[in-house]
C-alpha cells in the first residue's frame, strides 16, 4: 500500500484524479492520500468534493489536507504534481497580452507559455527539493505541471537525478479521439510519435499490428480529429474551443503529406488563422473560469447548502486515468508503453542528446526506457530545433537572470513575427509577472 500526495490539491482536476485512483484501488492500494497546496482556502473547497468521492469509493482511506510540506511529503511513495503558478488569473494574462499584438495567446505555446514557464521553474524545483527531503528515497514524482517542456528542461539542468516522470495528457487525449474514430478502445492503440511536449507528430497508429494512420488521415483531413458526438467521447474536450482545436487539425493534415500533428502544432503553423479566429476579450482562461472552475465551486456551495452533491461537477477522463496508469507501471514494473517526456540521449538520432523530447517509452520501476526513434525528416527537425532553442534560451534566461536571453527566446518562438513584437510582449509580461518571475 502506498502514500500518495497530490501537489496542487486545489486544482479543478483533483477530484477527477482521485476518482481515477480509487477506480484502480484493487491494483493500486492507497493507505493514505494527501492533498497539498499553498492555497488552503481553495484546497479546502476542492476537498469537499474529494471527501465525497472517498466516502463513496474507499471509505477507509485516510485523507489528509495540508499546506505544510513536511506533513505533505513525509514518507510519500508517490507525488502527483500539477501546480499552476498564478492560477487562471495569470493564465488569462498569458493569453491576452500576446493577443494585444496579434500573436497567439495560449497557455503553453508562444509568449504566454514562456511567461508561464518563468513562473513555474523555481516553484517546481522547490517542490522537488521538498520531496527529496521528506519522501521515501524510492518516491516517484509524476508531473503534469506546465509548460511541461520548459519545466522538464529546467529540471534536467538543475535536478538531473530527481525521480520525476514528466507527462502530458494531450497525446493520450488524441489517442482517445482516434480510438473513437476507429471504433476501438483506446487501449488497443499502439502509437509511434516524436517531438517536444505540445510540439510533435504521430507517425504510426497500430491496431492489432495494422497501421491505421492512413485511415485516420483520410478522416482527419475532412473532419479533423473529431467524431460526430464528442460529448459521448469526452465531456471536457467537447467544449467549443476544444472542438475547434481538434477540427483545425484538418488543415494541417490536408496540406502536409505524412503523419498527424499534435493539436498544439496549429498554434505554430497556423498562427495567423488562430489569431484571426480568437476572441481577444474572452480566451480559454475565461471559458475555464466560467466553466470547469465555476461548475466545481458551485457544486461545493450547493453541497454545503443542501447536502446534495452534483456528480457531474467534475471531470473524469484520460487526464486522471493516464497519470494513474503511469504510476501503476512505475509501482509494479509493468513496462507499459506510454508517451512521456524524456532526455533524448540519441533516441531521435538527429536531435541533440540533451533535448527533452516526447516519445514512447516503456515505464519500469526504474523509470522510462525510451524507444529508438531514429532519424526524423528535415521539416520536422527544423521546426523542432527552433522550438527547442527557444525553450533552452528561456531556461537560460531564468537561470542567468538575463533579459537578453528572454528576448532571444521570445524572438525565436515561431508564433512571434519580429524582434520588435517580441520585445513589446516581453516588456508587458514582465510588468504583469512582477510577483512571480525571477528578475530579468
Q: Which does 288 bind (CB under 5 to 8 A by kind): ligand G6P, Mn ion, none?
A: ligand G6P
**Smallest separation, CB 252 to Mn ion (Å):** 18
DSSP 182-245: HTS-GGGEEEEEEEETTEEEEEEEEETTEE-HHHHHHHHHHH-S--S-HHHH-SGGGSHHHHHH
Q: Which residue, 139 or 170, has its beta carbon nearer to Mn ion?
A: 170
Give the three-class secondary structure for 66: strand
Output the smallest distance, CB 208 to Mn ion, in A: 28
Does 168 participate in binding Mn ion (rule CB under 5 A)?
yes
Half-sphere exposure of 283 (CA within 13 A, CB side): 23
User: For residue 89, how many C-alpha atoms fall within 13 Å in the half-sphere facing its CB?
Assistant: 6
CB of 336 vs ligand G6P, minimal distance in Å: 19
Which residue, 9 or 200, is less far from ligand G6P as judged by CB?
200
Active site residue 264: yes
Of 236 and 433, nearer to ligand G6P (C-beta) is 236
Phi-psi region for residue 195, left (φ > 0), alpha (ψ -120 to 50) or beta? left
The cell for 438 is 525571477
Choose which of 163, 284, 392, 405 interacts with ligand G6P (CB under 6 A): 284
Catalytic residue of the set 37, 169, 325, 428: 169
Note whether 186 binds ligand G6P by CB under 6 A. no
> 207-215: long-range contacts (C-beta < 8 A, 24 or more apart)?
207/182, 212/178, 212/182, 213/259, 213/260, 215/182
Q: Report the residue number, 170 or 216, with the smaller CB distance to Mn ion.
A: 170
Catalytic hit among 144, 264, 267, 268: 264
* H or E, element range at 43: helix 40-57
Q: How are strands ordered across the β-sheet holding 2-7?
A: 62-66, 30-36, 2-7, 78-81, 140-143, 164-166, 336-343, 356-364, 367-370
x/- binding map, residues 150-179, to ligand G6P, per CB under 6 A?
------------------xxx--x------
| Position of minimal CB gap to ligand G6P | 170
Give the number of other Cβ atoms within 10 Å of residue 88's Cβ.
19
The answer to whether 274 contacts ligand G6P (rule: CB under 6 A) is: no
* CA pair distance 230, 209, nearest whole angstrom: 27
CB 36 within 8 A of CB 42: no
Q: Which is nearer to Mn ion, 106 or 424 (CB)?
A: 106
> Using CA atoms, how far apart are residues 82 and 79, in angstroms rounded to an integer?
10
Instruction: Choose the contact partner of 284 out of Mn ion, ligand G6P, none; CB within 5 to 8 A by kind.
Output: ligand G6P
In whole angstroms, the minimum distance from the beta carbon of 404 to ligand G6P comes to 29
Best CA proximity match to 266, nearest among 205, 311, 175, 201: 201
User: Cβ(18)–Cβ(324) under 8 Å?
Assistant: no
Nearer to Mn ion, 168 or 270 (CB): 168
For ligand G6P, which is the closer residue by CB, 43 or 149?
Answer: 149
Q: Which of 146, 262, 278, 283 binds ligand G6P (CB under 6 A)?
A: 146
Among 7, 109, 170, 340, the residue binding Mn ion under the rule CB under 5 A is 170
CB of 346 to ligand G6P, least distance (A): 26
Among 81, 288, 300, 330, contact with ligand G6P (rule: CB under 6 A): 288
Q: Nearest to Mn ion by Cβ — which residue?
A: 168
Residues with a catalytic annotation lie at 169, 264
Q: Which residues bind Mn ion (CB under 5 A)?
A: 168, 170
Q: Which residues bind ligand G6P (CB under 6 A)?
A: 107-108, 146, 168-170, 173, 284, 288
Amino acid at each position: 500500500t502506498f502514500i500518495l500526495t497530490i501537489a496542487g490539491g486545489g486544482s479543478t482536476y483533483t477530484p477527477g484524479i482521485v476518482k481515477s485512483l480509487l477506480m484502480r484501488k484493487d491494483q493500486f492500494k492507497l493507505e493514505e492520500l494527501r492533498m497539498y497546496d499553498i492555497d488552503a482556502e481553495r484546497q479546502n473547497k476542492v476537498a469537499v468534493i474529494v471527501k465525497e468521492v472517498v466516502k463513496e469509493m474507499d471509505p477507509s482511506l485516510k485523507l489528509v489536507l495540508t499546506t505544510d510540506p513536511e506533513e505533505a511529503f513525509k514518507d510519500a511513495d508517490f507525488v502527483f504534481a500539477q501546480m499552476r503558478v498564478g492560477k487562471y488569473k495569470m493564465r488569462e494574462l498569458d493569453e491576452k497580452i500576446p493577443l494585444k499584438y496579434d500573436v497567439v495567446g495560449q497557455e503553453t505555446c508562444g509568449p504566454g507559455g514562456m511567461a508561464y514557464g518563468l513562473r513555474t521553474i523555481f516553484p517546481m524545483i522547490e517542490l522537488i527539493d521538498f520531496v527529496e527531503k521528506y519522501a521515501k528515497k524510492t518516491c516517484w514524482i509524476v508531473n503534469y505541471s506546465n509548460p511541461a517542456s520548459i519545466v522538464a528542461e529546467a529540471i534536467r539542468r538543475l535536478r538531473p537525478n530527481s525521480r520525476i516522470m514528466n507527462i502530458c495528457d494531450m497525446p493520450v487525449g488524441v489517442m482517445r479521439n482516434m480510438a473513437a474514430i476507429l471504433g476501438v478502445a483506446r487501449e488497443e492503440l499502439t502509437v509511434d510519435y516524436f517531438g517536444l511536449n505540445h510540439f510533435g507528430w504521430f507517425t504510426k497508429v497500430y491496431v492489432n499490428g495494422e497501421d491505421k494512420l492512413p485511415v485516420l488521415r483520410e478522416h482527419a483531413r475532412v473532419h479533423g480529429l473529431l467524431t460526430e458526438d464528442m460529448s459521448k467521447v469526452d465531456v471536457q474536450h467537447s467544449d467549443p474551443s476544444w472542438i475547434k482545436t481538434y477540427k483545425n487539425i484538418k488543415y494541417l493534415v490536408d496540406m502536409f503529406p505524412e503523419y498527424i500533428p499534435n493539436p498544439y502544432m496549429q498554434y505554430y503553423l497556423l498562427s495567423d488563422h488562430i489569431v484571426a479566429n480568437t476572441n481577444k476579450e474572452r480566451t480559454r482562461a475565461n471559458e475555464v473560469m466560467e466553466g470547469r472552475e465555476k461548475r466545481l465551486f458551485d457544486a461545493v456551495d450547493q453541497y454545503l447548502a443542501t447536502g446534495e452533491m452534483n456528480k457531474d461537477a467534475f471531470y473524469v477522463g484520460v487526464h486522471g486515468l493516464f497519470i494513474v496508469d503511469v504510476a501503476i507501471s512505475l509501482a509494479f514494473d509493468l513496462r507499459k508503453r506510454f508517451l512521456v517526456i524524456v532526455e533524448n540521449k540519441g533516441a531521435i538520432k538527429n536531435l541533440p542528446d540533451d533535448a527533452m523530447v516526447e516519445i514512447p517509452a516503456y515505464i519500469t520501476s526504474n523509470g522510462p526506457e525510451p524507444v529508438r526513434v531514429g532519424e526524423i525528416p528535415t521539416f520536422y527537425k527544423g521546426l523542432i530545433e527552433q522550438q527547442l532553442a527557444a525553450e533552452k534560451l528561456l531556461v537560460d534566461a531564468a537561470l542567468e537572470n538575463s533579459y537578453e536571453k528572454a528576448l532571444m527566446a521570445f524572438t525565436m518562438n515561431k508564433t512571434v513575427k519580429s524582434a520588435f513584437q517580441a520585445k513589446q510582449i516581453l516588456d508587458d509580461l514582465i510588468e504583469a509577472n512582477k510577483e512571480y518571475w525571477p528578475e530579468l
